[in-house]
Amino acid sequence: MPQDQDPTVERTLVLLKPDAVVRGFAGKIITRFEDAALKIIGVKMKQMDADFTRRHYFDLEERLGAEVYNLTSTFMQQGPVIAMVLEGFDAVATVRKIVGSTYPNEAPAGTIRGDFSHYSRAASTASGKAVANLVHASGNKEEAAQEVELWFDKDELHDYRTLAETFTY
Catalytic residues: 136
Please state, in angstroms and rounded to a whole number, the distance separating the CA atoms of residues 150 and 4. 19
DSSP string, 11-63: EEEEEE-HHHHHTT-HHHHHHHHHHTTPEEEEEEEE---HHHHHHHTTTHHHH
91: phi then psi, degrees, rounded to nearest 5: -60, -40
Q: How many CB atoms are located within 10 Å of the residue 24 CB?
A: 8
